[in-house]
Copies of this chain bind each other. A is one copy, B any other.
Amino acid sequence: MTATGHIQFDEWVDLYASRVETMRTSAVRDLFAAASRSDIISLSGGMPDIRHLPLDEVSKVAANAVLQEGIAGLQYGDTTGRMQTKQIICGLVRDLGIFVAPEDLTVTTGAQQALDLLAKSFINPGDNVITEGPTYLGALQAFSAYQPKVHTIPFDEDGMRMDLLEAKLEELGPRGAKFIYTIPTFQNPGGVTMSLGRRLQLLKLARTYQIPIIEDDPYSRLRFEGETVPSLRSLDEEVIYLGTVSKVFAPGLRTGWVIAPRPILQKLNMVKQGTDLCGSALNQVIVEHYFNEIPWREVLETMINTYRERRDAMLTALEEFFPPEAAWTRPSGGFFVWITLPEYVNTPQILSVALEAGVTFVPGDGCFPSDSGRGHNTMRIAFCYEEPENLREAIRRLSLVIEERLELYRAFINAGVLKED
């Protein structure tokens, strides 16, 4: 065996755990490399545009973090996170109507680690879990490692369809699922927001069927217009709530959190010990200093204005360029627009064509469980990262790729070979 660049025969293939067989890599992550080609405009990544961060200030924050905290910032820390960081987080979520003590939360390596810890703590192979469909592909990846049966509930412009959720809960029975996972505000990938009425219905259904709710809330501070809708956790203390600094400060700090009822939090903390011992103390110190010393609300306001402008540019370009067969969501915050094309368009197949045309997107099938066979005619496009003129050009390029497919199928339809949807 050599460690050089040759393709290796995998002599260990019969040693892997069965969970590995059903896992798949994220098309988004795999596209990272491609997206770094300068001629390609990326609509695929969900990366915040942090170019507005005051780098000089952040640099000072990092230097002070080391000098003022000294050894404590460089040493092993508490598995659940630093007390000072938890206090900062308590302040951040208070803005959202969530009143908790430091003991009610654990600091995690991004909210992604919280998803892994929750899945690890709750899911036996074959257990039912419920998510929106489509949902965040990173959540599907985190859950799939523990081999659940994922049931997806469609959304419309008011969020998860409660009639369909109720039917599913009725089918599965009380305690018939381990949890309901939802991104109620500016959903990933949908861009839609669950209405207050639906939130109240969801909380009632969860109580009736005795199933915990996991509320994943990375985007709610990125609202472009309209009234804030209260978070599920602010309405019900039994909700498990995930947050992150990734979209209000920076993802590179990998600082997220989970708020949960204490018995659940105890389990998560125990599970976390074996997963990483503890998170980075230094990152937590920098987060503390950032929110204490930088006028972060002003920086965030600049970011929101930027994203709003881009959302507008994208929606305008979609109206201008996209064919009448396409439908899309109109988000009032967050990062994403969700596109639905006719059934006969296969977005995973057209991704390579799009790449050649200089644009990337996330094929929608990755946002559904792999055994669902759904989403092949959908895509997620992100407006968060590119300038308005690039977004316009990207949508133009993408529309040409789609149009080419549609023309082919229109010809088939006209010839009577295919039926219209």
Q: A residues engaging B (CB < 8 A)?
A: 1-5, 8-20, 23-26, 29, 32, 45, 47-48, 50-51, 53, 55-56, 58-67, 70-71, 73-79, 99-101, 103-104, 109-110, 112-113, 115-116, 120-124, 127, 138, 141-146, 175, 178-179, 210, 212, 237-238, 246, 250-254, 261-264, 267, 269-271, 273-283, 286
In Å, the complex CA distance between A409 and B175 comes to 53
- Assess whether A274 is in contact with B142, with CB atoms less than 8 Å apart: yes
Contact of A276 among B4, B110, B127 (CB under 8 A): B110
Q: Is the CB of A145 within 8 A of B271?
A: yes
In the complex, chain B residues whose CB is within 8 Å of the CB of A23: 270-271, 274
Option from B20, B109, B283 in Cβ contact (under 8 Å) with A270? B20
Q: Can you offer 25 A-B residue contacts whose CB atoms are under 8 A?
A: A2-B237, A3-B100, A3-B237, A8-B262, A8-B263, A13-B263, A15-B122, A16-B121, A19-B124, A53-B71, A53-B74, A55-B66, A55-B67, A56-B67, A59-B63, A74-B251, A110-B276, A115-B274, A120-B145, A141-B274, A142-B274, A145-B274, A253-B282, A254-B276, A282-B283
Q: For A146, list chain B residues within 8 Å (CB).
A: 17
Q: Pick the contact of A47 from B2, B75, B143, B286 — CB < 8 Å?
A: B75
Is the CB–CB distance between B274 and A116 below 8 Å?
Answer: yes
Which residues on B sit within 8 Å (CB–CB) of A141?
273-274
Contact A267 B20, CB 8 Å, known A60-B63, A276-B113:
yes
With A17-B121, A65-B62, A270-B23: A275-B75 Cβ-Cβ less than 8 Å: no
A124 partner residues in chain B, CB cutoff 8 A: 17-19
Q: Which partner residue on chain B sits nearest A6 by CB separation?
A: B262
A138 and B25 in contact, given A3-B104, A8-B263, A76-B252 (Cβ under 8 angstroms): no
